[in-house]
Structure 1
């Protein structure tokens, strides 16, 4: 932990806050139920959650730094945290006091090695955005730079002075709290808290390196270079350093400003599915995704002119917090999405296990039944429809399956922290654009395309296996005949007079196995392809009879 009285006081304040609320949680959620006073914990839970959120919000706004980031993450966890907590923390997305411009000017001039007046034609002192780690000001490039870059108006993004030391202190405190949480079995059975803190630390350190953010912006722009739905600001590398970033000014309509969208002739309900689709593309196809897609980081930009293929596009900014989905995890997520779209409870549980959320030792029979029941009753409903469902139905479901879910050994893989954040924010933005928005409407067409891709891969694999098996079936007799010839010529030492008979039996066995493998491969390929191409599927399934008959003949002949 960095030295200094202010830093030590900050460190101790964070730990005192965490220790108090952990002790309070232990008392109410673990100790009192053991004394038979579980109803006391249940009766006070809502009030305690609300008080915790209020106190944490005060702490985060007072301290700034990574505490703001922690609060922002908690505010998006609508899936696991009660609304009393998330609602109270929502304001942390925007409630960050700006740094005085004099301090910003001093840091920027030190980084750029010259007075701002010599680097820019003008810089607005009032920030257009203030975040926990930095803030942004509009500026104008000097004529020479404007001609070289093709840009005139830019945004100058500058780190908060002293943020490096503050981040170090906050990470030291979070590591300590993560160690405390790992001693609670209720937590340690479901997440490796020290590992999650390290993931958060890595993301935070990357976020305060503006050269890394600029590289992320260029990579993201490359991923969507051929997509007319997406735009990304250009980076002015000549005026950027590790703590100062100069970008094209792409300010437009904030994605959740529905009044401004309608005034521009844009239907917010049409923006929601496009935004969801673009986020799916990042998570399930490119594997490189924007992990902080809150409303302040997404603009809707009207596109003028008759040549425009689309009247508007989504403009992403702030690429400091990005995530990558490894190939294996992305494959698991694709299967999960397909299972969810197909309302396949058993497939969904299998996919959850494959991506590492469920430990291999888990007995999933009851969970599969719960997911099947959930899909049967609530699958396909939008948020507006779910709000109309009788709350007693949700309570009945929770009573029936709550113990099952709580007893299973769930865990949170390290790379899921940013994935969950991105999907939580995506859902929130889409719902604010259209309260009737049904995520299934966006998931199903995308999942259908994924399913077609997966089927294509299965057919290719099956065809390759069939060719390999056929090659093996055709090649092995020749090799075995060669062995027999060498035996007959006396060029192979034979230790048993029955070897020739054994080799012939092996030959027949290989022929039967190869035929069975080709039969199975063609049959599976035919059944998969038949869903999309009936003729080709039927041909493959009929063709599978040939190796089946050959296998039966090879098994009977010579016996």
Structure 2
């Protein structure tokens, strides 16, 4: 629990922000929410509380909006009313006059933007909570967008994070309900994401990595980063013209086939999550553009853009998937599609962060999930609508990285289903199986991995006879008067058999890994 001195230190350092937060909490009448979190007041039924909380988060600014967006992914913790409210969070950031941004740009570029670019538009193209975007043209004629971090935003968000970390510890001490949500871990996740997004060189590196990851998909477009003009406060990248994937009619009017875009989007998200282990964490329609056949992006060769393509934008938030988690997620989906409740239950037990749940309860819950979603088109939004309430009912809490995977997959699934209602993610998954196997083989065939596997097999084969002899001797010593020679011989033979089985198992594991 925080000491009085720690509380006083936080209050002294960020007292102005604390006063502002308190005023907004009072304005939106969130005393009932504070009571639920163990911070005083009287907890009561309050049907309008989720909506008022969402409006308060918007008023509190980008740090709190980002927190709400993280909470919107936690269907394993929150009911539908809260999820719906937080899904409508918006950063209502005003557009700043360029004179307020000019010092940031000139410090980053080392010269005025009028000198760095052949043309620079002082009127903003768009504005968000962290940055404002302007159009420009490089001296070689390349059209670009210039993303400029808002002045003072880092200091303000760091102050918010200090307050939230302190509040999270207080809440964990005072509320059993809040402890289940693990607020300190959630605030640490928030802090990592915010610090990553505040440094635009991270977004630039993300773009470069995703572009390399998707190099085998010419239908996928990631804007180039112009590093000579990019820094932690200013990001310069290709300007891409396209249509957001919101309305199938608007897409057809531009000569874009929505079903083709749905196919590209499905292959793209599966490639990112299950093959490359690096994915766009927030693929909503505002972060994607559909390009019509024949349209080339800036700097692309004449051979590019033969058909429809899909561009990914705003790459500040990128998730990472370990090979182990890729295997688990794929096992879960395939168990669901193969009508295997036991396989689904195994994954739920493995993922739970809230202690053990009786196997029978997990199996019963998995049977219900398989019965509803084990056949027909796989609609992730519908599956998740059943899946997360099931988790809440059984007291299961998913690891944050897994929640991020589900969120990315569900978001993309929702976007693609909206423009192509007959879209079926399971078909894309089936078509990608060969690619998944190939990628796994490629990773496992790396020389250092093969060397490690063979060394492990060698160690097991060398140790197994000794271990079996020791086990046999121990068994023989336990009951020497009553043990017959036949029994002892059987034990020795069994030991030899088990030792051979261990070696064979190791070899088989190696072969399976390479299949």
TM-score (norm 2): 0.75
1:26-425 equivalences under 5 Å are: 48=47, 51-75=48-72, 81=78, 84-93=81-90, 95-142=92-139, 146=140, 152-182=142-172, 183-189=174-180, 191-304=181-294, 311-354=307-350, 356-359=351-354, 361-380=356-375, 406=392, 408-425=394-411
**Per the alignment, do residues 318 and 178 of structure 1 end up closer, same or farther by CA in structure 2, a change over 3 Å counting?**
same
> 1:267-289 CA deviation, whole Å, 9 max, x = no partner?
22332243133112222221111
Q: Hey, what's the Cα distance between the residues in 1 that align with 2:418 and 2:268?
A: 17
Looking at structure 2, the residues matched to 227 and 386 of structure 1 have their Cα atoms a distance apart, in angstroms, of 26
Contact preservation (8 Å) 1:269, 1:434: yes
**Contact 2:246–2:285 (Cα < 8 Å) also in 1:** yes
Give the structure 2 partner of residue 20 of structure 1: 31
Report the CA distance between 1:375 and its aligned residue: 1.5
Which structure 1 residue ranges, 5 or more long, are not aligned? 33-40, 388-393, 481-500, 533-559
Residues 435-486 of structure 1 deviation map (CA, whole Å, 9 limit, x = unaligned)? 443444444444686589889999x99xx99x969x959x979xx9xxxxxx
Q: Which residue of 2 is the match for residue 537 of structure 1?
A: none
Taking the aligned partners of 2:360 and 2:290, their CA distance within structure 1 comes to 45
Choose the corresponding residue for 1:7, options 14, 17, 28. 17
Question: Mean Cα displacement is larger for which, 10-19 or 56-65?
Answer: 10-19
Shift of 1:4: 6.6
Secondary structure in 2 matching 1:284: helix
5+ residue gaps, structure 2: 1-9, 296-301, 470-485
1:223-262: CA deviation from partner (whole Å, max 9, x where unpaired): 1122212111111111111101111112311122433311
TM-aligned CA distance change 1:64 to 1:313, over 3 Å: same
1:48-86 deviations in Å (ceiling 9; x for gaps): 2xx234323433443322222234344556676555545
Cα distance change on mapping 1:236 and 1:503 into 2, 3 Å: same
The 8 Å contact of residues 135 and 158 in structure 1, kept in 2 or not, is answered as yes
Number of equivalenced pairs? 466
Q: CA deviation at 1:205?
A: 0.5
Q: Which moved more, 1:88-97 or 1:515-524?
A: 515-524
Summarize the Cα distance change of 1:427–1:174 in structure 2 as closer, same or farther, 3 Å threshold: farther
Do the aligned partners of residues 405 and 417 (structure 1) sit closer, same or farther apart at CA in structure 2, a change above 3 Å counting?
A: closer
Contact preservation (8 Å) 1:337, 1:443: no
Residues 380 and 438, structure 1, Cα contact 8 Å, conserved in 2: no
> Is contact 1:291-1:421 (8 Å) kept?
yes
Instruction: Name the SS of the counterpart of 1:254 in structure 2.
Output: coil
Aligned pair partner of 1:433 in 419, 437, 456: 419
CA distance in 1, matches of 2:403, 2:217: 27
Match of 1:553 in 2: none
**Bigger radius of gyration, 1 or 2?**
1
User: For residues 163 and 274 of structure 2, what CA distance do their matches in structure 1 show?
Assistant: 34
Superposed displacement of residue 381, structure 1: 5.1
Deviation at 1:337, TM superposition (A): 2.5
Tell me the residue number matched to 2:480.
Answer: none
Structure 1 residues 206 and 157: alpha-carbon distance in aligned structure 2, compared to 1, 3 A threshold:
same
Residues 1:171 and 1:194: Cα distance change in structure 2 (over 3 Å): same
Report the CA distance between 1:209 and its aligned residue.
0.2
Q: Return the alpha-carbon distance in structure 1 between the equivalents of residues 439 and 212 of structure 2.
A: 23
The 3 A distance-change label for structure 1 pair 367 and 513 is closer
Residue 11 of structure 1 contacts residue 170 of structure 1 at CA under 8 Å; is this kept in 2?
A: no
SS in 2 for 1:415: helix
* Partners of 1:18 and 1:347 in 2: CA distance: 46
Q: Taking structure 1 as the reference length, what is the TM-score of the superposition? A: 0.70
Change (3 A) 1:124 1:357: farther
Tell me the CA shift for residue 296 of structure 1. Answer: 1.1
Rounded Cα–Cα distance in structure 2 between residues aligned with 1:161 and 1:358: 40
Q: Could you tell me how far apart the structure 1 residues matched to 2:176 and 2:380 are?
A: 37
Distance in 2 (CA, whole Å) between partners of 1:339 and 1:21 is 42
CA RMSD for the aligned pairs? 4.5
CA distance in 2, matches of 1:18, 1:154: 45
1: distance between equivalents of 2:265 and 2:314? Answer: 16
Which moved further from structure 2: 254-263 or 288-297? Answer: 254-263
